[in-house]
Amino acid sequence: SVLADQIAAGEVVERPASVVKELVENAVDAHATQVDILVQESGVQSIRVIDDGDGIDDSEVLTAFKRHATSKITSREDLFRVHSLGFRGEALPSIASVADVVMNTSTGTTGTSIHYRGGKLLQQAPAPLRQGTDITVTDLFFNTPARLKYLKSPQTELANILDVVNRIALSYPSVAFRLVHNAKELLKTAGRGDLQQVIAGIYGVQNARKMVAIAGETPDFKLAGFVALPELTRANRQYITVLINGRAIKNQQLTKAVIKGYGSKLMVGRYPIAVIALTMDPLLVDVNVHPTKQEVRLSKEPELSKLISETITARLVDVNL
Ligand code: ADP
Ligand code: MG
């Protein structure tokens, strides 16, 4: 029902950045090689995501907008095992229940245009065969005024969007992303699989050039990534990105471990730029219940924290800072 969808939306779609996250993850799941994200007025006016991915067959478009209809995962551990970002089949119906959504999608053999508003299907019609999906979300929260009212300032909402896209871009260096806000390009990655190029796109060429590669492992964990020498960066906590099996996650302890790794080389009040890619058995990851599935807990967290800080410290000594 529309009401159930709206309740689910309360969890999945907190703010414009959550819409961006879900739509961009869908594009990545659909094997897109190019994803364009066009945002107006911090996403409150409109969010458009264009991909060149698989598209949705005309016979499945309605199903895609039904809740849970598409869930591919049965257990929480599966999340870090499957190579798909989506897992609940909730995003599209949730977004469509609290906004105006127009989607044009094509598999190459069928093309469909579909229009939802406030959870109601307004139109479904054949559309041109342009491979991929082009989805536009406008009037976000038009029918849930409380949610609209509690949005933060336009700058904060935009910062959240940028953070979401940055993290996905760092997780998928072989996908080309472009983020445009009010006609201004904020991020463009080449999609050539070069993480350092993505880092340059996000943190600036200057910082990227100063970044050093790190690598380390224990029997349980494998670590690879880049860290920047701290005095060159004017970063905040957001600039520490931790990926587990290719997925950007949040975990306070690991963020602290990164900072600890810099030790006294990090000036007070400064945060480093770091991209830490971890590989591990999915069973070591305890995904919490929150549907945005970014915050995770880890068994063997002390072992992992130690690996992170010691690898960074060793490397910083190495480059003789
Ligand atoms: P989930 O991603 O959890 O499966 P969503 O509500 O985000 O659920 O999407 C529902 C389904 O719609 C997806 O499983 C996918 O089959 C399809 N879909 C959504 N967006 C796209 C896209 N950009 N390209 C291809 N298929 C898509
Ligand atoms: Mg999804």
ipTM (interface predicted TM): 0.99
Nearest atom in ligand 1 to the alpha carbon of residue 87 is 3
Look at residue 233 and tell me whether its pLDDT is greater than 60: no
* Cα 259 to middle of ligand 2, angstroms: 32
Q: What's the mean pLDDT in 181-206?
A: 92
pLDDT of 41 above 80: yes
Confidence of residue 283 (pLDDT cuts 50, 70, 90): confident
Task: Categorize the per-residue pLDDT at 269 as very low, low, confident or very high, splitting at 50, 70 and 90.
Answer: confident
134 C-beta closer than 6 A to ligand 1: no
The residue that leads in pLDDT, 159 or 72, is 159
Task: Pick the ligand that lies closest to the CA of residue 28.
Answer: 1
Alpha-carbon torsion, ordered 200, 167, 159, 185, to 10 deg: 50
Q: Which residue has the higher pLDDT, 286 or 28?
A: 28
Pairwise CA distance, residues 15 & 196, whole Å: 30
Report the residue among 23, 29, 71, 98 best suited for mutation to probe ligand 1: largest number of ligand atoms under 8 A from its CB. Answer: 29
52-70 tens-digit pLDDT:
999 999 999 999 999 865 5
Residue 240 CA to ligand 1 centre (angstroms): 29
Give the pLDDT band of residue 117 (cuts 50, 70, 90): very high
Specify the residue with its C-alpha closest to ligand 1, atom 8.
89
Please tell me the predicted confidence (pLDDT) of residue 286.
Answer: 74
**pLDDT reading at 299 higher than 80:** yes
Q: What is the mean pLDDT of residues 32-60?
A: 98
Name the band, by pLDDT with cuts 50, 70 and 90, for residue 81: low
- Which one has a higher pLDDT value, 195 or 269? 195
Is the minimum distance from the CB of 5 to ligand 1 under 6 angstroms? no
Q: Cα dist. 123→47, 79, 119, 169 in Å? A: 20, 34, 12, 33
More confident residue, 10 or 228: 228
Is domain 2-188 in CATH 3.30.565.10, yes or no?
yes
More reliable by pLDDT, 10 or 82:
10
The CB of 92 under 6 Å from ligand 1? The reply is yes
Query: Beta 274-280 vs 285-287: how paired, if at all?
Result: unpaired
Q: 204-318: what fold?
A: Ribosomal Protein S5; domain 2 (3.30.230)
Q: Break the chain into its structural domains and give their ranges.
A: 2-188, 204-318
Distance 90 CA to ligand 1 centre (A): 9
CA of 159 to the centre of ligand 1 (A): 25
**Spatial CB neighbours of 64, under 8 Å, sequence gap ≥ 6:** 56, 70, 92
Q: What is the mean pLDDT of residues 128-140?
A: 97
* Integer Cα distance of 117 and 109 in angstroms: 27
